[in-house]
Every structure is written in C-alpha cells, then in structure tokens.
Structure 1
Amino acid sequence: MFRRTFWFTAGAVTGVWATTKAQRLVRGLTPESLAATAVNRAVDAGRRAKLFAEDVRSAMAERETQLNDALGLDRGSRPAELPGPRLKALPGRPKHPYTTYNRKEDL
C-alpha cells in the first residue's frame, strides 16, 4: 500500500511539474514574448557596445598622452614644421620599379 501511494504521489508531482514547464515554454514562444526578448537583447547589446566604445576612447586618450610624453610633444606648443615638397620623378623612369612604360624603343 505504501509503495502505491509513493508512486502515485511521485507521478502526480512529475505531471504537475511537466505541465508547468510546458506552459512556460509555450508562453515563451508567443510572438509578443519573442519580440520583447529580441528588444531586450538589442537594448542590452547597444548598452554593451556603448560601454566598449567609452573604454576604447579612454584607453586611446591615455595611450596618446603616453606617446606625447615619450616623444616630448606638448599639446600647447606649435606643431613641428612639415617637410618641404618631394622631388618629382625623373622623366623617362618608371615611378615604381616593377612598372614599365610602353615606349617605342622598348619594342
């Protein structure tokens, strides 16, 4: 008698548990629930992307300060003068060593 009562109770508890789980799953798969989940995940992803961008900006500013200190550059001073204009390529010579011109004397 005790065995039958135990197994009947175990079966009833398992049935209630399975029914509850199935109902939660069905409620979670409705279009409204799926849309709400997608919106929540998109907002969370946007928030994480914003935090990442802020971290990158702060690290970039810190590294720029480190480089300026290492190079002896001061933000308040005038920038160094730019170098003069580059020399033009000599006529008749290719600009790049691997390029050739189709000249009549090459044929």
Structure 2
Amino acid sequence: MFRRTFWFTAGAAAGVWATTKVNRKIRQLTPESLAAQAADKALEAGHKLKDFALDVREGMVRREAELGDALGIEAPAEPEPALHRTLPYNPNNRNEDY
C-alpha cells in the first residue's frame, strides 16, 4: 500500500515538475520574449564595443604621446574640432540629407 502511494506521489511530482519546465520554456520562446532577448544581447554587445573603442582610443593616445616624446614633437593640448561642411542647395537633389 505504501509502495503504491509512494510511486503515485513521485509520478504526480514528476508530472508537475515537467509541466512547469515545459510552460517556462514555451514562454521563453514567444516572439516577444525572443525580441526582448535579442535587444538585451544587442545592448550588451554595444556596451562591449563601446568599451573596446574607448580602450583603443586610450591606447592610441598613450602611444602617440610616447612617440611624440621619442621624436621630440609636442602634441597640441586640444585637438582641433572638425569643421562641419555644408553642401550648396540644389533644387534638383531629391535627397532629404543636404
């Protein structure tokens, strides 16, 4: 009698556990959930790329300073800002970006 009760309870618990796992996986595979996961991964990749670019820029500045010291060249304290080039107006240009 106890043996049957044990196996009945074990089977019921396994069924509940399996149903919970399947429902959780189904919720993870909905289009909204997949889109949110993709967006999170894209943000994470963007942050890693930004950190990498900042590290490269820092290394570049450090190396330029080393080369400037080795060659006896003084680097300007502030880099000159890039000038914004404006294009002349062309009425035949169908492009919105002028």
TM-score (norm 1): 0.63
Once the 2 structures are TM-superposed, how far is the Cα of residue 6 of structure 1 from its aligned partner? 2.3
Partner Cα separation in structure 1 for residue 55 and residue 6 of structure 2 = 59
Once the 2 structures are TM-superposed, how far is the Cα of residue 13 of structure 1 from its aligned partner? 1.4
Q: Which runs of at least 4 in structure 1 moved beyond 3 Å after TM superposition?
A: none
Q: Which amino acid aligns with 1:26?
A: I
Matched, 1:36 2:36: yes
Partner Cα separation in structure 2 for residue 3 and residue 71 of structure 1 = 88
Structure 1, gaps ≥5 residues long: 77-107
RMSD: 1.5
Partner Cα separation in structure 1 for residue 31 and residue 15 of structure 2 = 27
Partner Cα separation in structure 2 for residue 37 and residue 18 of structure 1 = 24
Structure with the greater relative contact order (CA < 8 A, sep ≥ 6): 1 or 2? 2
Larger Rg: 1
How many residue pairs get aligned? The number is: 76
Q: Which residue of 1 aligns with 2:57?
A: 57
